[in-house]
Structure 1
């Protein structure tokens, strides 16, 4: 009749080829063909609403909260994605596995911040950088999605961190406590359970928001990108207090830079402090 009848995805059987590409669809109750449209705004008339309770039953409330708050800022609309919900669930399982492995190894000792190795300093810097940035994201801008991104970045560091020594384990304890606290406003249930498993007393909702240790953010050395005529050609590591002349000299002496400037005349060296060096040559 020229109009459209909308069917909920749960009432449709989707047909796929060997590569999982959709090749057709039909209505479950009578087998009539169904046309799959594009992304549409949720509405009753289009019969495309997602039942929150069904998602909560399948993944838990924390997963649903994490997905919705990560997919978009709270004052904007978001595109619903079942794969996005599954991704949120996988991330929380990663957090749980790391915490479980840590707790199973026994009680961690006290961290001695005065005797950290360079690798341990890098891990602790990642912890306090996440605290600093997430505090701004949540406290000032109310952008939970970027705060979650900070926690995900921190988790990547913690999963690769060493666990051999007592200092390593104490540092991981600090990192996991930070993850639990930063996630608490977003995923309160798993965060509370993690808080208890990590040996902390009381409810996490009553715990103080983590404070930044500014001394942990101080870097002894910096890794700078080196470009030749705007194209990435290598990296150099220089002391954080290095002068412009020292940075330029290190860049000029880089093996890749020498290779790409062979036979050319260096006309200018642009140094962007703390970020990059661009060598202009022809």
Structure 2
């Protein structure tokens, strides 16, 4: 697993929820903030306006993608002057089902132009949210641009075909495409930050820096390895002191601090999603002693591994 794949794999709980909505102008729709989730909006057909407080209205076109990594609210409308109605497309259950959930809604207006939007959310586990997600802005807008983002355009096109005309296998295909869409959004955002002058620090810079990225990939590939700062520095091709300074500056914590956090995050995922015995999970995250693993886990998550598993 690479870092970006792991970010998606460990952060969310359950599978994505979504709704395929057709609006007939005139219309305006509020999407309420949902803390503990990451929301998305994909304009599949037509156009509309994005409305947010203290921000100028932004026109959205077919193929535009919005990603809200912190569950922030927004309003969409066919015209900036149209009032919004009560929120839709916000997951209101405390935990989404493990199977894919989707609704199809037709919002009738007065026969005006049609706008089709795929909207929905991932429920996140705050205890396992990767720091990369915490550094993202409240809203990421990727305009439709087949020449600049061909892979994103292809994912949107496939999603539109699957959710517009549901067929056999949609319960598997659509969640996989939503995960793919999320991966492309994060990849594009991280890749383009240096081009916008925002990639000198933080996770965009960390993953773009060959030395730091090499150490991160080593940790994610084999969290059970008995890593030391010197061994990670060797992976990075730097001296121990130079590596420790660079890693801490870009990632925001020392190498071994990140290693421990990632091990405990991986352990939490295994406790939630598998029935593996504690000694097996301890070994998978680098602990030869089940007792030492339990103490480390409790320091990080506030509860013992067994209690954490029972509470899932």
Q: TM-score range by the shorter chain?
A: under 0.3
What's the TM-score once normalised by structure 2's chain length?
0.25
Task: Write 1 or 2 for the structure with the bigger share of strand.
Answer: 2
Higher gyration radius (CA): 1
What's the TM-score once normalised by structure 1's chain length?
0.27
